[in-house]
Structure 1
């Protein structure tokens, strides 16, 4: 009878998979011995596997290169990384090894761009696509970048006022794009994105505000779908509407030569994940070319903004099951030594699912469990009701530690969780390590950040000022009081 955890996975999914394999009944990730990682660094533990970033960038480049060749598409492809997905230096350093471009979304992003440019990681040939709603600091930072000679900055206009604000700060000609305010999926609470300018208003906006402005060159139309690039009637319908705007705008504006199909590729969130990336790219390129050919206009250069796809599958989190609580006849709570709310906030905020697998115990019998975090918050859990599929793990025993891993957590979780800052119930941010490979393919690890200490948290809370003096004063007062009582 097949009752082991391995049997459950083997009969449910295709296993092993490219990134997940077993060695002596313990899980490996991209050939990394995760149990050895735990023995060296402990748990809880966050990690970033840097080579996966470059791998995904080059996968996407190859899909677009194949589609462009297949359809005789007379335009270039430019891969942009959305810094908002993960601003960390090690992520940008790895991504920029692959001749890519940058998409920014806030004022401080420009400071990062300038820092990378000073180090030679970004050059004047690097496109900086500045997206988002812009006000004073963001406008000034974009202007500084352009005034200092970065000609390949494309400012994506989000509202009618931004051009006048930019004109006041930029002392030379500059390039812009216009973001389309796409219609949201029917299940959304509102009909149209709060970002961008409506479909019907874009051509009139160009004619009244841009056409006769000698400082401004319209280069790009920006199309973003919040749900990402998916094979749905909704996505294809929005792309078709976008192309109608592009054709109309191109006929009015000869300098328009680029289309930004923002909205990223999905990433793996279960062992059953299936997505035909090459098919989607083929069909996008084909539909853009067909529309342009029928209208008699040149096809645009293609820009994509991939954030989660770039960095998501590089990240992971490892926890130890500390204890099992049996709350009733049916529910068993495996308590982890960290918090889901603080380390993977998307599991709590938007019920996001990640690949979850045990690292040890694959040769043990399995049981159905709920996973609970350390905070006192009732929402600090990860279970079947909240995340669709039942959770089965090797049976817990106090004699042998059970470690579990969550994978493909590399996008947004640190920034949303407030990396290095206050955490709910003062649960510390786990140790974070970087994993790379040398030229010989050997694994290299290093500590990016140690686990937060109480001193760091107390300092943020304002308790560090004169804390030693206060403690000494309290001790002296207690001694005096004791003497008086005696």
Structure 2
């Protein structure tokens, strides 16, 4: 297919956009990705990046679209409303956001603001998170769920929140927490709202399946549940038991796992009610998945259900059990964090350079004096169409290995080694062109990756996409522009860290995933922006400082009432800020550099003018971005004296 026959619809199919980005992302007539937040005012991502560049902020950029959170919240609430109405369910629904998923102040504030009309609550699992939530959640209707292990200070703070008018549920994760909660509540003269976390036999599947089942480190067994209820009854506090909770893991790919867990939890609810506890809330935890790879296959990177099916199965399963047993319908709480915020963030990476592994080139025949193995490698390349692709690759690999051995023994020259590499990679290139995608996958595993171009991006996988290297999580990746052009190269994305794990080489594509990504040739002097999508859950808070690359620039983008685009910029971390994390304060660095420059002056290596200029340059660099930045104006040209250089 020629470039003239390529269009944006084909690009959308190629990158599987209808699967992972249907509700929020599209390609406009210019061939640029746009975010669709209200249906009438799309936001062109290339235009946002260009405006940031004019202000001196180049990628890596983290773009946040708050209106996507609002729409996602509306979708979740609406799906549960439909399920409750169609089933005549008599309980209410409360969405709760676990702030561990993305603890950025702006994100939590938007959830609180948008969620006020839905009585959306927040979930915490530590004292710092609880401190943040009590200060943020200024409407008392939304529940606060306190999960995680607790000490006295945690418990006191939660009960203070309850005395302030909040609906704070203290969920018992292990048996000894119950006595602590009751003792602190007695001291503060408050009736606590207690929840019990059930350790279900049902398990999720995927990366986080061990959150449920017998191996889970959280929750109470059936016997421990009975002991907790007896303890509450003995202390006259059975009326405090208001909630049952379970959680079988994040990103549950298969709906049957969710249905099984809800059924088991509904039975727990019925039995606890029979024991006299006035439980009225059933918290089904998290697990609502995100379709990262664009399929509906139920793989760890996908889900085999829709949002409506998820809500239906929860509501109908609880209703059936309660109706069978003559029990009231509980209020339902779900802790959907990933599904709420994943879509609202896009990481933008600019490609610095491209290393082409294979390309069309003229290969000259080795001379008569060349090693025999080099001549045989060339003959394999020449006769490529006369043997099977597998045989040709095996022969070429063997001859190349022989030449490397000869080179290491001193029996082949550097020129021989270079020519062997050129012939080998040209053979790979021609093989790749002759095979279709299915043949490539079946022919030699890893062949596509071996032959792929390396697109070097200005970012850190470890800082911005930790799940990509830790869990091999797949994220949608595609160019933000030039999508009216056919992508003619196959590449992988490489970061600027000094670590071989800093690579993205698994991408949603077509009907599945691919080890390489179709990309365009980089045009010299022009940016080539690559977007990594669905990064709003966990990536920021789990990112680390490998090679001391810090937080990226962040841009909050939203629409005002008139549909105008508003942008709020939060600059990324500076070199000084990152070094301070590892106990290199500015004063110590400047003093150490100044001392060495002074010594260089005294030994005659530098003039005093040079030393002063170098110190200014050093201090200025501490204020700079940790990533590569062509906008930096700190240049050494002109600061050296005319009569002395650096020896």
Fold match by TM threshold 0.5: yes
Question: What does residue 219 of structure 2 align with?
Answer: 196
Question: What does residue 121 of structure 2 align with?
Answer: 101
The whole-number CA distance in structure 1 between the counterparts of 2:34 and 2:294 is 14
Question: What does residue 199 of structure 2 align with?
Answer: 181
Question: What does residue 9 of structure 1 align with?
Answer: 11
The whole-number CA distance in structure 2 between the counterparts of 1:21 and 1:453 is 34
Unaligned runs of 5+ residues in structure 1 are none
CA contact (8 A) 2:352 2:456 kept: yes
- The correspondence of residues 290-369 of structure 1 with structure 2, limited to 5 A, is 290-327=320-357, 329=425, 330-362=451-483, 363-369=485-491
The whole-number CA distance in structure 2 between the counterparts of 1:180 and 1:225 is 10
Deviation at 1:231, TM superposition (A): 4.2
Question: What does residue 520 of structure 2 align with?
Answer: 395
CA contact (8 A) 2:356 2:454 kept: yes
The answer to whether 1:285 aligns with 2:315 is yes
Question: What does residue 159 of structure 1 align with?
Answer: 174
Q: Which has the higher contact order (CA 8 A, sep 6+)?
A: 1
CA contact (8 A) 1:335 1:372 kept: yes
Question: What does residue 478 of structure 1 align with?
Answer: 600
**Change beyond 3 A, Cα 1:440–1:186:** closer
Find the partner of 1:261 among 264, 268, 284. Answer: 284
CA contact (8 A) 2:205 2:253 kept: no
Question: What does residue 35 of structure 1 align with?
Answer: 46
Find the partner of 1:237 among 260, 263, 266. Answer: 260
**Change beyond 3 A, Cα 1:230–1:239:** farther
Q: What secondary structure, in the 3-state scheme, does the structure 2 residue paired with 1:262 have?
A: coil
Question: What does residue 115 of structure 1 align with?
Answer: 135
Deviation at 1:230, TM superposition (A): 5.1
Deviations 1:354-396 (A, max 9, x none): 2212112221432221111111111111113999424333322
The whole-number CA distance in structure 2 between the counterparts of 1:228 and 1:7 is 29
Deviation at 1:91, TM superposition (A): 1.1
CA contact (8 A) 1:361 1:394 kept: no
Q: What secondary structure, in the 3-state scheme, does the structure 2 residue paired with 1:132 have?
A: coil
**Change beyond 3 A, Cα 1:311–1:229:** same
Deviations 1:26-61 (A, max 9, x none): 222222111111112221100110011111111111
The whole-number CA distance in structure 2 between the counterparts of 1:251 and 1:80 is 27
Deviations 1:121-156 (A, max 9, x none): 42333311101122344234324323x433511101
- Richer in strand (by share): 1
Count how many residue pairs are aligned between Structure 1 and Structure 2: 473
CA contact (8 A) 1:396 1:402 kept: no
TM-score (norm 1): 0.90
The answer to whether 1:376 aligns with 2:468 is no
Which structure has the bigger radius of gyration? 2
CA contact (8 A) 1:107 1:139 kept: no
**Change beyond 3 A, Cα 1:199–1:94:** same
The whole-number CA distance in structure 1 between the counterparts of 2:225 and 2:253 is 25
The whole-number CA distance in structure 2 between the counterparts of 1:349 and 1:199 is 34
The whole-number CA distance in structure 1 between the counterparts of 2:107 and 2:17 is 30
Greater alpha carbon shift after TM alignment, 94-103 vs 321-330: 321-330
The whole-number CA distance in structure 2 between the counterparts of 1:14 and 1:334 is 22
Unaligned runs of 5+ residues in structure 2 are 37-41, 53-57, 297-303, 359-424, 426-450, 606-647
- The correspondence of residues 419-434 of structure 1 with structure 2, limited to 5 A, is 423-434=545-556
**Change beyond 3 A, Cα 1:324–1:5:** farther
RMSD (Å), alpha carbons: 2.6
